[in-house]
Structure 1
Amino acid sequence: VFFWDILQRTLKKDFLLSPATIRYLPVEESESVPYDLFIVLGLFCIWKTRMEFRHADPGIKSVHKHFIEVVSEVQTVYCRT
């Protein structure tokens, strides 16, 4: 919950979180900000942290750290193309 609150405040966008919005990503199209990409990356980072916790990984990272790593990887891919 805290991760989504911080993400919404950072993007200055209010996302309604429900099973339907997570499944279908009904976000308004914007030419400048890919909100659906941020939602998918956020969900992936939450899942990744939960799997580390479930498998008792000794080096569990926070969702925030996973998100920063994934966004930096996506940014390098965009910069290369």
Structure 2
Amino acid sequence: MESNLTKVEQHTLQKNISNNRLEIYHDIKKEKNPKGKSSISPQARAFLEQVFRKKQSLNSKEKEEVAKKCGITPLQVRVWVCSMKNQA
């Protein structure tokens, strides 16, 4: 695939993309606690506990809904639920 960009423009674009990836990486790292785990707010944890008391297994749609309400990812919901099952 040919590009209409000059070599300098291509280099600048690649550098900007790389810098953006680095910024995103650092933003994600800032969100993690010192142990390297993503933190879940106390409000989100309380909601997760409430949901878990009612239902110990969630389907994909339920995980997405819970994640949206908690401000976390569906993967974090899945991991949290698995951890709770293992603790029980």
The two structures share one fold, judged by TM-score above 0.5: no
Higher alpha-carbon Rg: 2
Q: Counting helix residues as a fraction of each chain, which structure ranks higher?
A: 2
